[in-house]
Amino acid sequence: MIAAENLTKSYGGQVLFDAISFKINARERVGLLGRNGHGKTTLFRMLIGEEDFDSGALSVPKGYRIGHVQQQIAFTRPTVLEEGMLGLPPTKADHHWEVEKILAGLGFDQDDMGRHPNEFSGGFQVRLNLAKALVAEPDLLLLDEPTNYLDITSIRWIERFLVSWPRELMLITHDRSFTDRIVTHTLGIHRHKIRKIAGNTEKYYSQIAQDEEIFEKTRLNDERRTKEIEQFITRFRAKARLAGMVQSRVKALAKMEKKDKLNKLRDLEFSFRDLPFRGKQLLGVRELTFGYPAQAPLFENLDFSLNAGDRLCVVGPNGKGKTTLLQLLAGNLKASGGTITYHPGVVSGFYEQTNIQTLNPYNTVEEEVQRSHPDVDRQLARNICGSMLFEGDMALKKIEVLSGGEKARVMLGKLLVKPINLLLLDEPSNHLDMASCDALLAAIDNFDGAVIMVTHNEMFLHALAQRLVVFHRNNVTVFEGTYQDFLDKGGWGDDPGVQTTSVVLDAALSEETKRSKKEMRRLRSAITSEHAKARKPVETAIAETEKCIETEERRLRQFNEELVAASQAKEGSRIAQLSQSIHQSQTVIDEKFADLEDLYTRKESLDADLESKLAELGE
């Protein structure tokens, strides 16, 4: 258990925490909430000792291990697997299979295990650091915006992983639905104080709203009562016979605590400028193909159209071509084949996650917004800055001093400048806090034009998506239905009791294509089913063997502890007995590890056989 007592922290004149206290109890999974800049990451840094607090106390049990994802990228091992194994606790230093399982869940395939970590993109390097934190099995795991570096399949995997986390967890994320599915408790930073409740974000925000409503009613009642007492004192001060009553009220007035009116905390409030579209179809995509030179195509022969008011979401793992598709639609890349035909009345606005780098660091927020379009005067720029929470002198801050979330708000502000009827959005919720994500979702929902959006945020997908472009398993298809429809028909293939993802993707193909692939699917299904039946007993045996090893290792540790005690007590017969037990236990462990190696070899052989058979079918 961790306990914080009266922690206070400020930077210059800005107070972050004012005598906050909280506890994290055994097996609690806690979501940490608060607006950007209100101290969530600072609190994490205080917990791991990278940041000092001004006053108060932080109590951590002796030997209690706190794990977090390292932000610096500094790898020392030649392969991803070896680097990941550095995170294993000493008692499991050679359990490479545990590292492989977590790396696979985070999007690394089998070939990636032997590659050098420096060959990967920054996002995958952060995932490797995340894997090292997960396999370390700390007593308290701190995760700060882990979903920013994960794609949708990895997010769904880590969600299931964290729900079964057996120790303590503290999580910062802008994805409300992700948070709500994981946490048991919510810890919120609000007005320099902290509040902890049992329950999810909805319960927390409801409680905060109720508390502030009660505070305001109490404040108004106190003001009215104060005014009545003051009037009584003024009216009857000169009345000698009422001197006692007057004096009593003077004392009561002196004891009354004055409550200041709560300053209004502004939320992001904005709307996109709609440009009327007098037509039905905004764009048509026919046989669109794209690939980089000397590489296999990212996608081929993609067909879809977009009508007025459509909400089309692009989903799938990273690196498969989602952002590339948006760049093609925006005209920033040239297709290898096929066509994109726009209605002449289409005016689009493009928000992309890498655009933050295009901001001029020496401009102020106001200058950056004003210079984004020739028709923007200073007053309009100021209005837009205000809607993005850059009010007053905040609009005069230089871009270079802004946080990632603040820069994301500047990019949104620049998008509000011109009237549009098509929004192209690439991961718009990244770097925004939870309240800002809610405002963005409302703005997109209220936009009269059409939207094409790349996102991994399942709350956005459930709320907005009417159709999907799905990148999955080296294929890209259009799914005619909502995100819930997609999940109901198999989705990503990661939920028990549902159809496989291939069924969902096949359902999106034309009738002619489905007929031509009917026999292929039948053969694939038969081969895959046979493989699953052969693999199941091996997987069961692996699980049982791993459990047996863990049990025997616990016994071995107990024997060793007893041996130390017997040695100190000079109990000769007990020492001999324990030495024999230790030898037997170690023998069992060695034998089980040999069995485990054989089982993994069998599993790999079965998987290789499946790949070979599918390859013969041209898959």
C-alpha span between 135 and 193 (Å, rounded): 33
Across 382-393, average pLDDT:
89
At 328-359, the pLDDT tens digits run 999 999 999 999 999 999 999 999 866 677 88
pLDDT at position 250: 87
C-alpha span between 298 and 38 (Å, rounded): 41
Structure tokens at 186: 């919510």
- DSSP string covering 116-170: -GGGS-HHHHHHHHHHHHHHT--SEEEEESGGGG--HHHHHHHHHHHHT--SEEE
Q: Yes or no: say if 328 and 289 are a contact pair by the CB < 8 Å rule.
A: no
DSSP 3-state of 66:
strand
Backbone Cα Rg of the chain: 30
At 240-279, the pLDDT tens digits run 666 777 888 888 888 888 888 888 777 788 899 999 998 9
Q: How far is CA 437 from the centre of its chain?
A: 12
Better-scored residue on pLDDT, 499 or 389:
389
Is the entire prediction scored with pTM above 0.85?
A: no
By C-alpha distance, which of 351, 360, 365 is closest to 415?
351
C-alpha span between 548 and 290 (Å, rounded): 51
What are the two backbone dihedrals, phi and then psi, of residue 22, each rounded to the nearest 5 degrees?
-165, 165
Q: Which of 169-173, 308-312, 431-435 has the lowest mean pLDDT?
A: 431-435
Confidence category of residue 501, pLDDT binned at 50, 70, 90: very low
Better-scored residue on pLDDT, 71 or 95:
95
Across 13-21, average pLDDT:
91
pLDDT above 80 (res 430): yes
At 358-381, the pLDDT tens digits run 889 999 999 999 988 888 889 989
pLDDT above 50 (res 504): no
pLDDT at position 354: 66
Sheet containing strand 348-351, strands side by side: 348-351, 422-426, 450-454, 311-315, 467-472, 475-479
pLDDT above 80 (res 593): no
Q: Yes or no: say if 304 and 328 are a contact pair by the CB < 8 Å rule.
A: no
Please provide the CATH number assigned to the domain covering 281-347+419-515: 3.40.50.300
Helix H, strand E, coil C: the string for 280-293 is CEEEEEEEEEECCC
pLDDT at position 246: 81
What are the two backbone dihedrals, phi and then psi, of residue 56, each rounded to the nearest 5 degrees?
105, -170
**What average pLDDT does the chain have?**
88
pLDDT more than 70, % of the chain: 93
pLDDT more than 90, % of the chain: 54
What are the two backbone dihedrals, phi and then psi, of residue 13, each rounded to the nearest 5 degrees?
-95, 0
Confidence category of residue 617, pLDDT binned at 50, 70, 90: low
At 441-492, the pLDDT tens digits run 999 999 999 999 999 999 999 999 999 999 988 889 999 999 999 999 988 8
pLDDT above 70 (res 502): no
pLDDT above 50 (res 514): no
pLDDT above 60 (res 503): no
DSSP 3-state of 5:
strand
Better-scored residue on pLDDT, 553 or 165:
165
Neighbours of 486 (CB within 10 A): 25
Better-scored residue on pLDDT, 187 or 575:
187
pLDDT above 50 (res 513): no
